[in-house]
Structure 1
Amino acid sequence: MTLTKIVMHLARNPEAGFAEGSREHGYLLVLPLTADGQIDEDLWHARRSDCSVRAFSPDAPVREGRLARRGHNWFFDYDRGGVDDDEPVFKLEQHRFEVGEYVTIRDHDETPLVYRIDGKEPLD
């Protein structure tokens, strides 16, 4: 059980205008993972303030936030005071964060975009 730095880049999303994906669009995450690469909810509770999200894109300012949970739903929260900027992550608790795996995130327009995990590095 450790905190892990994850790098994800936009995968092929032809219907969203990214037929070949984009390494200029992505996320840098610090997540608590179990030995099998899934979100460690107990460690998240213990180290919630260390779990971060950094979204980057060439056409928007970098957004910094945190991993949050409401009920059974995980999301990226960029402004703790509101919900308009929250990005839900589809079934995050079921994902294995391994290089080559894919994660779907809904953008600010509610468009689901697929990202590929391109890097994984333990921090602790």
Structure 2
Amino acid sequence: MAHANDAKLPENFHRIRLELAREPGHPEGDAHTGYVIVAPLDGDGRIDIDTARDFRDSCTVVRMRPGAEPERGILRRRPGGSWALHYDLEAGEDDDPGYRLGEHRFVPGEYVTIIEDAGEHTYRIITVQRL
């Protein structure tokens, strides 16, 4: 079985850039508010659960906000099968649950919703690049 500390990740690992989509207060969206997620995707562009399990520590996230240092964390599968973005690795609670992330296709132009401290926000998938 492969492990996250192996030098080479499987070829289905991708870097996914999300940017805040249009919403009240941001009529054009915001390229400076977003996330960069590194995760394995299956042939349909959905998160590959088996590979993510085998390479759990390699499924990472960086949260970007204007005027703040990027916050690094992990993409974590929660009990029941949902996904969340987790930053405080010492605490047990997830920071930003994703709305049905396991069902979404991560392809440019699609949208995903992330539930943050300030409520739900929709993000547009800007790029999906193979590592």
Q: Which runs of 4+ in 1 moved over 6 A?
A: none
Q: Distance in 2 between matches of 1:34 and 1:43?
A: 9
More strand by share: 1
Say yes or no: does 1:67 pair with 2:75: yes
The size of the alignment, in residue pairs, is: 120
Change (3 A) 1:49 1:89: same
Structure 2-normalised TM-score? Answer: 0.86
Q: Which residue of 2 aligns with 1:28?
A: 36
CA contact (8 A) 1:85 1:108 kept: no
Shift of 1:59: 3.0
1:2 is displaced (CA, Å) by 0.8
Conservation of the 8 A alpha-carbon contact between 2:62 and 2:72: yes
Give runs of aligned pairs for residues 107-122 of structure 1, distance below 5 A: 107-109=116-118, 111-122=119-130
Q: Which runs of 5+ in 1 are unaligned?
A: none
Two-structure CA RMSD over aligned residues (Å): 1.4
Instruction: Work out whether 1:97 is the aligned partner of 2:112.
Output: no
| Pair 1:57-2:65 in alignment | yes
Cα 1:103/1:93, change in 2 over 3 Å: same
Q: Distance in 2 between matches of 1:86 and 1:57?
A: 15
Secondary structure at 2:105 match in 1: coil
Instruction: Identify the residue that residue 4 of structure 2 maps to in structure 1.
Output: none
